[in-house]
């Protein structure tokens, strides 16, 4: 996002909710909270600091650059860049700042070896491919990996990790069990040679639903920010019973209130035409700041504590709401597109509601809103 503010919409981040969600996921010493992609849009350093205060001993980030930002902020925990070190500059930074980059192929392994310096240990996380089909050493490659690791002076395999493909899908139970089996076999082989290596397989879904696969370290992600990975499945209650709290709300001001006569339309394409005399509020947010154009006429918002429908085509910097049934809506009132204070009997729109309307996942909604709007913390 540029330094020039081009929208008055705001992301409100409840750091207390993130801390409480972290506490719901297990003992702090056994967790590596995932704060990649700017903490899913919630702000990398503020989230890391509140989790550090809550006892986090490790962080999983996306890139070495994110890890360096945490070091610059004074955070000394174990930090694992999940994409690994991608350039020589990344490798140099990983060594100098004591990071634990992921190594998942032989090229990365050789580059790690090339950056091991006398008197300094480079810790790495060995990535195993168990069924995601993206990154990591195969089971067939593992003996060669172990032999090479034993021969490199100054390298320490500190962690072995893999990633579930569909642990959030009850109908894929057999596939998930096979991933656990493969990971167990591969990590056992590594532990025979490196007995202190820590094992980490579980994402949020695994952390909540797979206690038998927790090993030493779990990596909760979406749950930190309030998301239940089992929403819409037969296991929904597994997450719901934890009482997870959404940490992000999104607001924007009402900038105009218009009276529409019967038959009058509003916005591009005439998606909304008043069937009776109506009142429409114009709200200063749009697709330029992550209010997806595909949400046109398919979502709602809170205005003065009441849930009202969004009407008309979403514009670049404006949306409209039908506030006919809410008395005395004025310019300067606040509309809450996600979350916000609700009157008794009214319900805020959640990131999951918005994701469902878009046919996507809450992760995307959070990342985009948080990445394209100024954030305020509470």
Residues that are catalytic: 36, 268
Q: Using the 8-state DSSP alphabet, how is residue 34 labeled? A: B
| Selection from 211, 210, 182, 184 nearest residue 199 by Cα | 184
SS3 assignment, position 370: helix
Contact 280, 322 (CB under 8 A): yes
CB-based contacts of 188, cutoff 8 Å, min separation 6: none
Nearest Cα to 20, choosing from 252, 220, 288?
A: 220
**φ, ψ at 216 (rounded to 5°):** -80, -30
CA distance 163 to 125: 13
- CA 368 to CA 18: how far, in whole Å? 18
Residue 67, CB-side half-sphere exposure with 13 Å CA sphere: 29
């Amino acid at each position: 996002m540029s330094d020039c503010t081009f929208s008055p919409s705001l992301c409100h981040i409840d750091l207390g909710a993130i801390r409480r969600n972290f506490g719901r996921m297990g003992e702090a010493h056994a967790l590596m909270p995932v704060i990649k992609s700017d903490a899913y849009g919630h702000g990398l350093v503020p989230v890391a600091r509140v989790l550090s205060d809550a006892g986090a001993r490790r962080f999983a980030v996306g890139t070495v650059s994110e890890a360096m930002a945490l070091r610059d902020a004074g955070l000394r925990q174990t930090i694992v860049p999940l994409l690994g070190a991608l350039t020589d500059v990344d490798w140099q930074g990983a060594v100098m700042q004591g990071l634990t980059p992921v190594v998942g192929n032989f090229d990365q392994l050789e580059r790690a070896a090339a950056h091991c310096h006398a008197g300094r240990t480079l810790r790495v996380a060995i990535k195993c491919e168990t069924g995601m089909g993206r990154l990591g050493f195969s089971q067939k490659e593992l003996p060669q990996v172990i032999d090479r690791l034993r021969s490199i002076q100054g390298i320490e395999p500190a962690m072995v990790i893999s990633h579930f493909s569909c642990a959030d899908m009850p109908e894929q139970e057999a596939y998930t069990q096979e991933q656990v089996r493969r990971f167990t076999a591969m990590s056992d082989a590594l532990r025979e040679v490196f007995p202190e290596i820590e094992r980490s397989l579980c994402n949020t879904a695994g952390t909540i639903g797979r206690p038998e696969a927790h090993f030493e370290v779990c990596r909760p992600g979406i749950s930190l920010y309030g998301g239940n990975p089992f929403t819409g499945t037969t296991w929904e209650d597994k997450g719901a019973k934890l009482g997870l709290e959404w940490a992000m709300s999104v607001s924007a001001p009402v900038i105009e209130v218009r009276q529409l006569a019967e038959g009058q339309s509003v916005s591009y394409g005439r998606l909304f035409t008043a069937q009776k005399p109506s009142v429409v509020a114009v709200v200063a947010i749009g697709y330029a700041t992550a209010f997806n154009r595909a949400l046109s006429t398919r979502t709602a918002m809170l205005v003065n504590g009441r849930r009202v429908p969004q009407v008309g085509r979403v514009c670049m910097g404006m949306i409209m709401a039908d506030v006919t049934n809410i008395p005395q809506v004025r310019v300067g009132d606040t509309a809450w597109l996600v979350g916000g204070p609700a009157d008794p009997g009214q319900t805020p729109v959640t990131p999951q509601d918005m994701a469902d309307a878009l046919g996507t996942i809450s992760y995307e909604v959070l990342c985009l809103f948080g990445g394209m709007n100024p954030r305020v913390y509470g």
